[in-house]
Structure 1
Amino acid sequence: MFKPLWVRSLFIAFTALFLAAPLMAEDVNLSERAPSFWKAEGQDNTVWLFGSVHVLTEDHYPLADKVEEAFEQSAYLVVETDVVNVDPQAQQQLMINAGMLRDGQTLEDVLGEARWERARSLAADNGYDLEQMAMLRPWLIALVLSVTELERMGYTAAHGVETYFLERAEREQKSIVELETLQFQISLFSDMDRDTEVAFLMQTLEEIQDLEAQMEMLVAAWESGELDKLEETMLADFADYPEVYERVVTRRNHNWMNDLTRFLDEGQQDYFVAVGALHMVGEEGVINLLREAGYRVERQ
């Protein structure tokens, strides 16, 4: 079944793309949380690899001491894209340019009468008026709805792992390295074929009431370090859409290898890499790709 890909990949349980109740036993020491965290040995340095969640609540901090210490000793912070030092107006314009329907089309035209009525009904049940978004492409509406719901639950990018470290990097004058551009990340959605983006919207609407429970489950697995569960859950979501997984996850992992291996082979100082946890797991995840390339990578 198709899942909201942005929510999944931005999760790291986005990706993604773009999120509580207590997720662990009350007696768990916050400094002992064990998320997805690895150490790769370079020629003359260390590259730390942290599988992140792009949106969290403030209750998920502080992070594990070992994660904080690794960041402290690193000279570089590496992220998918710098979500803090970006012009919000330029970002908004990019989204509008990529996410508006063209040539007078409306969402009803794209969905067809039956799906339009179903989509309107589902949206209304959750307090949304699709008529107000009828000039937007389905993928952008799905993102808007997902972000709005996550923010309602308290999950925001402002509390996401990348934002947390980016703001610290600015204060501590660490160098920031981007693996991708904002334009490229938007293209992951805007280049979807029409059938896929329609399915993305419809499934988002069908499952929006389950989003909080899904989010809590995945964040709990991330936070407690249950990587097998995390991998099984996330990879299963893409089972019926291998071409989407290839484009959104696998291809990007391989693209990043040029930079990651350069950090390991040529770096003189330590790097702290924070990317979505979905990119860490699986046979073609970053961790396995580095090991296959001959690097020593150990979970911390």
Structure 2
Amino acid sequence: MKFFLALFTSLFLITQFGIAQETPSNSLLWEITGKKVKSPSYIFGTMHLIPNDDFLFPETLQEKVKTSDILVMEIGGLSEQLQAMQLMMLDSGTMFDYFSEEQLDSIFTYTKENLGFEEEQMRMAFGKMKPFVLVQLFTKDAFGANPQSYEMSLEKIAKTNDVEILGLETVEEQMSFIDNLSDKDQVNMIMEALRAEDNGAEEMTKLVDIYLSQDINKIYEFAVTSDMSSPEFEEDFLNKRNQNWIAPIQKIIKKKTAFIAVGAAHLGGPQGVIELLKAEGYILTPVKL
């Protein structure tokens, strides 16, 4: 469960340089200056879904989006997100081929008792989808009745104010992370989500508390110490993606005033975006929200 919740600070769907001890980390918003940037740009760490009552979105943050030339997110807006539905479909077989009979019995019992879905309904509605969909189904209540999305809110502001929107990667690239998980890891993730008490509400509360503390290094630590995390996860899902983003970010901020929004787990840590940009010669200054 902790692994899945960590995705909400690092994956839009649904981090070794030494870090100086004196480097402040208690901010989700950082100003980027230096190295001949056109004008100060900003980078902000999001949770891709967050309970409505915990949605931290002050007017000062909104103003920085409105006055930017470009909004940069992990993927470039809602229109691209909708493509994810096609990528959630299996090429062959059914979702339920992944599970043992005992596991299927647990799944169908749970969905009938907690979600009101009979086995036949589950097979018809989800059979052709990839197993990861079940994790989202089992944990939907952890975010409350009306969860908020930073990305959707940022995109709405950008479109209202004619701010250009750009993505650092494609939906296909994001979905490839899930596809690269082994069948065993996917099944374990789903069964963990099914067994979680209160649909993961307790872990969600911990994650939200860490997020609202604005300590980006603690957010990073939450992501890399999850039950299913591994050196491979940290390298492929955080480090490589962080490194891939640096070149396009440099190109953008050289010419335009940018507001960059990525999952908060990507900001902290020795190979987080903040440290990588510093290593390129930029000045990163935390901004109080």
Asked if 1:154 is matched to 2:170, the reply is: no
- The structure-2 alpha-carbon separation of the partners of 1:57 and 1:114, relative to structure 1 and needing over 3 Å to count, comes to closer
Structure 2 counterpart of 1:102, from 92, 95, 99: 92
Asked if 1:299 is matched to 2:289, the reply is: no
| 1:198 Cα deviation from its structure 2 partner | 1.4
1:8 touches 1:16 (CA, 8 Å); kept in 2? no
Structure 2 counterpart of 1:9, from 7, 10, 29: 7
Asked if 1:126 is matched to 2:118, the reply is: no
Asked if 1:227 is matched to 2:222, the reply is: no
Q: Percent identity?
A: 22
Structure 1 counterpart of 2:207, from 211, 218, 242: 218
Structure 2 counterpart of 1:173, from 146, 151, 162: 162
2:6 touches 2:222 (CA, 8 Å); kept in 1? no
Structure 2 counterpart of 1:116, from 104, 109, 115: 104
Give SS of 1:298's match.
strand
Alignment-mate amino acid for residue 274 of structure 2: I
TM-score for both structures, normalised by structure 2: 0.81
Alignment of 1:29-44 (within 5 A): 35-42=27-34, 43=36, 44=38
Alignment of 1:22-33 (within 5 A): none
Give SS of 1:15's match.
coil
Residue range with higher mean Cα deviation, 54-63 or 176-185: 54-63
TM-score for both structures, normalised by structure 1: 0.78
Q: How many residues align?
A: 269
Asked if 1:281 is matched to 2:268, the reply is: yes
Q: What are the superposed Cα offsets for residues 75-94 of structure 1, whole Å, 9 maximum, x if unpaired?
A: 11000113423484x54333
2:73 touches 2:261 (CA, 8 Å); kept in 1? yes
1:47 touches 1:271 (CA, 8 Å); kept in 2? yes
1:122 touches 1:206 (CA, 8 Å); kept in 2? no
Structure 2 counterpart of 1:79, from 73, 81, 84: 73
- The structure-2 alpha-carbon separation of the partners of 1:134 and 1:3, relative to structure 1 and needing over 3 Å to count, comes to farther
2:142 touches 2:199 (CA, 8 Å); kept in 1? no
Give SS of 1:170's match.
helix
Give SS of 2:251's match.
helix
Instruction: Note the aligned Cα RMSD (angstroms).
Output: 2.7
Asked if 1:258 is matched to 2:247, the reply is: yes
Q: Using the alignment, how far apart are the partners of 1:214 and 1:121 within structure 2?
A: 23
Give SS of 1:199's match.
helix
Structure 1 unmatched ranges of 5 or more: 19-33
Q: Using the alignment, how far apart are the partners of 1:187 and 1:290 within structure 2?
A: 26
1:123 touches 1:130 (CA, 8 Å); kept in 2? yes
2:68 touches 2:258 (CA, 8 Å); kept in 1? yes
- The structure-2 alpha-carbon separation of the partners of 1:224 and 1:260, relative to structure 1 and needing over 3 Å to count, comes to same
Aligned residue in 1 for 2:63 = 69
Give SS of 1:237's match.
coil
- The structure-2 alpha-carbon separation of the partners of 1:293 and 1:83, relative to structure 1 and needing over 3 Å to count, comes to same
1:82 touches 1:178 (CA, 8 Å); kept in 2? yes
| 1:118 Cα deviation from its structure 2 partner | 3.9
